[in-house]
Amino acid sequence: MEKKSKILMCLLLIAILLISCSSKDAGSESTANTTPTASSEVKSPATAADYITMTYSEYATTDENAAIKTQILSYDTATKQMKTVFQFDYTAQYPLGFYDKPNQLVYYTQRVGTDKDYGDQIFVRDLSSEKSAQLTDNLFAVNYIIPSGDQLFFVANVKGEQAIRLGAIDLNTNEMTLWGDDDMLVEAITLDHKNKKIYASAYSLKERNYSLAHQDGPTGQNNFKMPTYTVYETNYDLKEKTKLFSENYWIRMLMNKEGHVIAFGDKEYNKGQVPSLVVDYDTASKTSSVSNWGTTRLQRGEANYSNDGSKIYTIAIVKNERGLFEFDVKSKEFTALFTPTAGFINNIQVVRGH
């Protein structure tokens, strides 16, 4: 399926193709949004056990020319049960969804507009009333949607910009707030729901473009200089921009556990056979340690720790099977949870219980 990858990252993909050929007070801005609100009140009660919300796509029939359907699945880590909670047409550039189990809501993306003027917008589905509402009208493509309390956080390209922004929607007023500026490309995020912090990996559009234009060096080798990726911390009102650490690595994925932010980085794009660099940042001491990930690669599409920190739930390829796996932090063993043969897991998010 051509739409397996994040098409939002078109600027990054252009960079990859070219390579293969040769302190605080960040400005946040608010924009009015007149689309319907998701709910008058989001309660967000505590969840009994960890669960995994998953976006999964497959052909509606055995005919590969037929329409593709996207499903939002939920895996309960206590009962080991998987269920389908919602299904919709695959129209977005990158299919994305999130099942808010306590509130019985599903957030998802779909294409809106004409062939000449279109974009992927965020919708919410109330599973109790079986009604959907459109939450945005100014986005082009979306990479993340994660609700927390009465806010919905996202990473997206806003129409008319080249930047890839972190943003938030107030689910009571539908007001949208954007974080960053027109030179920032947000690559990955992870949320600390308990302490109401967001961690984002980002890099400079100007620096990336400069690296693209200056690839002088020996023929036959990669002369692309990786731009500097920085991991930032911000709060839920998106008014902070605290730099934690920087690396000349592609920081492609972030995870978090109590007092720690974990970043996975690669020296080059699409070099999956090379072990990833792992940066473990201690938020209390403000220090970091660096090591190599010594086992099977964790795929993009997100991964995170269980509530007790003993497991990592991730997309991975183990024994030539791609799927959802549970990684035991102590034994370093992978256990298959869901390895589909017909469809494709687009992305997951781990929702921790209490």
Mind listing the pLDDT tens digit for each residue in 286-335? 999 999 999 999 998 899 999 999 999 999 999 999 999 999 999 999 99
Q: How many Cα atoms are found within 13 Å in the side-chain-facing hemisphere of 195?
A: 15
31: in domain: no
Mean pLDDT of the chain: 87
pLDDT in the model for residue 222: 74
For the ranges 16-20, 46-50, 53-57, the maximum mean pLDDT occurs at 53-57
Note whether residue 8 is domain-resident.
yes
Domain total for the chain? 1
Across 54-63, 110-119, 343-352, least confident range: 54-63
How far is it, in rounded angstroms, from Cα 348 to Cα 302? 6
- Residue 32: inside a domain, yes or no? no
CATH number (domain holding residue 6): 2.120.10.80
Confidence of residue 251 (pLDDT cuts 50, 70, 90): very high
pLDDT at site 67: 85
d(CA 119, CA 75): 30
Q: Report the sign of the C-alpha dihedral through residues 345, 104, 51, 44, in that order.
A: positive
Segments in the chain forming alpha helices (H): 10-20, 205-213
Q: Does 53 map to a domain?
A: yes
Helix (H), strand (E), coil (C) string for 61-104:
CCCCCCCEEEEEEEEECCCCEEEEEEEEECCCCCCCEEEECCCC
**193-246 confidence digits (pLDDT tens):** 999 999 999 999 999 888 888 877 777 677 788 899 999 999 999 999 999 999
Stretch (H or E) spanning 251: strand 250-257
For residues 216 and 189, the answer to whether their CB atoms sit within 8 Å is no
Q: Please compute the mean of the pLDDT values over residues 145-153 and round it to a whole number.
A: 97
pTM: 0.86
**pLDDT value, residue 220:** 67
Rounded-to-integer distance, Cα 211 and Cα 4, Å:
27
Per-residue model confidence (pLDDT) at position 16: 37
Q: Find the mean pLDDT for residues 248-266.
A: 96
What's the domain range around 251?
Answer: 2-26+40-351
pLDDT given for residue 62 in this prediction: 66
The reply to whether 35 falls in a domain is: no
Question: N- to C-terminal Cα distance for the chain?
Answer: 37
Position 22 scores a pLDDT of 34
Q: Does position 254 have pLDDT exceeding 60, yes or no?
A: yes
Percent of the chain topping pLDDT 70: 84
157 assigned to some structural domain: yes
Number of DSSP helices (H) and strands (E) in the chain, helices first: 2, 25
Three-state DSSP class for 247? strand
Which tokens go with 32? 């009015």
- Mean pLDDT for the stretch of residues 246-260: 95
Q: How far apart are CA 76 and CA 218, in angstroms?
A: 52
Least confident of 5-9, 71-75, 111-115, 198-202: 5-9
Running DSSP on this structure, what letter comes out for residue 19? H
With a cut of 90, say whether residue 95 has pLDDT above it. Answer: yes
